[in-house]
Structure 1
Amino acid sequence: MMKFKALAIDIDGTITYSDRRLHFLAAEHLRNLGIPVVLATGNVLCYAAATSKLIGLGGKVISENGGVISTGFDTNPHISESMEECEKAFSYLSNRFDLIRLDGDLRKTEIALRRNVNADDLQASLEGAGFYIEVIDTQFALHIKSKKVNKGTGLEKMASLMDLDVSDFIAIGDSVNDREMFEVAGYGIAVDNADPGLKLIADHVTSMSFGEGTVEALQILCRRDFF
């Protein structure tokens, strides 16, 4: 059986409880895994880096849904050139919907919104106006982002920077924004609280939810000698 060399894992809803508190046992398992662990999130770089530091990992993070990639705490991040088109889309939508922007100037490649509007309505409006932009709902925020940038492209970039093949990674996640990461990784595990569409493409779905699901997944992987 193929041995995997690294793990890419979502944060919110995957290594947390439902209220976003960090699941300490999941963090301990990640810290002691013995292979590189990449945190992959729709959140901003400082949040992802702080989470990596607090868990005791090495600072390898994919943030902003693949838009910002960092290989360590003291390295310069790789930032995609996608903010200008997102700003144009946000400006267009702001004239038609009551949007509440999150994270201020922290985001460099996409725009996050409060979930007070429907993502499908925003998407339909943008498509009607010819924007090549997508709006995704991660259940924690809405994201106005480039269709060219996602956790899958982010993982491909991270793999290249680590001198690995993207198929060397196992991916664990719970949300629609984890789909592309699952599609390029060598093996994908969805925790039980995951989006139904993500479960359909996962290689394995845990019986437990949130951080407990990740603990279950890591125990299974170690027991089956995946690493």
Structure 2
Amino acid sequence: MSKLPFKVVAVDMDGTFMRNDQTFDRKRFNRILNQLRADGGHFIVSSGRPYQRLRKDFIGFLDRIDMVADNGSLLLQDDQIISTHLLTNRAALDLIRFIKEYYPESSIIVTGIENSYTTISASPAFKQTMNFYYPDRVEVPDLMTAVSPHDQITKLTLSYRHDFSAELEKEFNAHHAEKIHCTSSGFGLMDIVPYSVNKGNALKYFLRYFDAKPSELIAFGDGMNDKEMLELAGYSYAMENAEPALKKVAKYIAPSNNDDGVLQVLDEYLNN
């Protein structure tokens, strides 16, 4: 790479790359992406969103970007899944049982590579949100009977009124051999994934593949599920609208997502 100090760009979606109205400047992004690739760079979408949603978000760009989906459970290149980190069927069922017993106020969606399930009794607000992220989800009477050994489960997502991710992770892991990791998106949603899964570890995979160092990574985020990603990156940006705790992790602050902060920062690097 000749003029850029980084080889790899990684961006979160909600609250970071996407505006609050779920849009981004596609024309400007196309120009930036072409400039980045002309300099030998790589662009990675690193999100808690499922890959089916990300594929819809980036129609027209899928042959020029890579993806970290489900907070690191799925990695995609050239629109093909290249790595998976899955919960076993037993762990998924144990989690459902555990959540129903200790956090009954939470609505749940179980995310699989092919199928995603919510209950008919889930809260209307939760189901409305999930309609966007999981348009093909299936509503079932009972998650315990719906999830089968053939489902490839990447994560569970819960609703919450206060963030109990650290508490849930500690309590579940104390009594189960298969460990899990809980992370909050900051939008009243919590993701539960296999223990070692996070965006930082997923990006390490891509950095090895691209023969790049962490010091050659620029990353953007707004929530604590971006923490490991920003800790890894040589150039770490929290959005102006980011959680205060994440701003303490980042080296720099980018303009807000509604001001196209990611594209602003990348433009400055590309055109200086």
TM-score class, shorter-chain normalisation, is 0.7 to 0.9
Who is 2:108 aligned against?
Answer: 101
Residue 17 of structure 1 aligns with which residue?
19
Q: What's 1:128 paired with?
A: 171
Deviation at 1:124?
2.1
Q: Is the 8 A contact 1:5 1:168 kept in 2?
A: yes
- Structure 1 range deviating more: 160-169 or 186-195: 160-169
Q: Which residue does the alignment assign to 1:110?
A: 155
Q: For 1:16 and 1:70, how far apart are their aligned partners in 2? A: 20
Q: SS of the counterpart of 2:22?
A: coil
User: What letter is aligned with 1:82?
Assistant: L
C-alpha displacement of 1:154? 0.4
In 2, are the aligned partners of 1:192 and 1:205 still within 8 Å (CA)? yes
For residue 186 of structure 2, the aligned residue among 139, 144, 149 is: 139
Q: 1:7 aligned to 2:39?
A: no
The aligned amino acid for 1:139 is G
The 5-angstrom pairing of residues 1-227 of structure 1 reads: 3-24=5-26, 27-28=29-30, 30-34=32-36, 35-55=41-61, 58-73=64-79, 75-84=80-89, 85-96=91-102, 97-102=104-109, 104-106=111-113, 108-113=153-158, 115-120=159-164, 123-129=166-172, 130=174, 132-140=179-187, 141-210=189-258, 212-224=260-272
Bigger proportion of residues as strand: 2
- Give aligned-pair identity as a percent: 20
d(CA) in 2 for partners of 1:88, 1:179: 27
Gap regions ≥5 residues in structure 2: 117-152
Distance 2:81 2:237 in 1: 30
Residue 112 of structure 2 aligns to which amino acid in structure 1? D
* Structure 2 letter corresponding to 1:147: Y
* CA contact 1:65–1:151 (8 Å) conserved in 2: yes
SS at match of 1:109: strand
Q: Which runs of at least 4 in structure 1 moved beyond 6 Å after TM superposition?
A: none
TM-score after normalising by structure 2: 0.70
Q: Which has the larger radius of gyration?
A: 2
Q: Determine the C-alpha separation between the residues in 1 that align with 2:230 and 2:202.
A: 12
CA contact (8 A) 1:102 1:111 kept: yes
**1:170 positional shift:** 0.8
Once the 2 structures are TM-superposed, how far is the Cα of residue 183 of structure 1 from its aligned partner? 1.1
3-state SS of paired residue (2:245): helix
How far off its partner does 1:42 sit?
0.5
How big is the shift at 1:69? 0.5
Q: 1:103 to 1:221 in 2, by over 3 A?
A: farther
Paired residues, number: 221
Question: What's the offset of the Cα at 1:139?
Answer: 3.0
Kept in 1: contact 2:63–2:78 (CA 8 A):
no
Deviations 1:23-45 (A, max 9, x none): 44663454334221010001111
Distance verdict in 2 for CA 1:207–1:60, change over 3 Å: closer
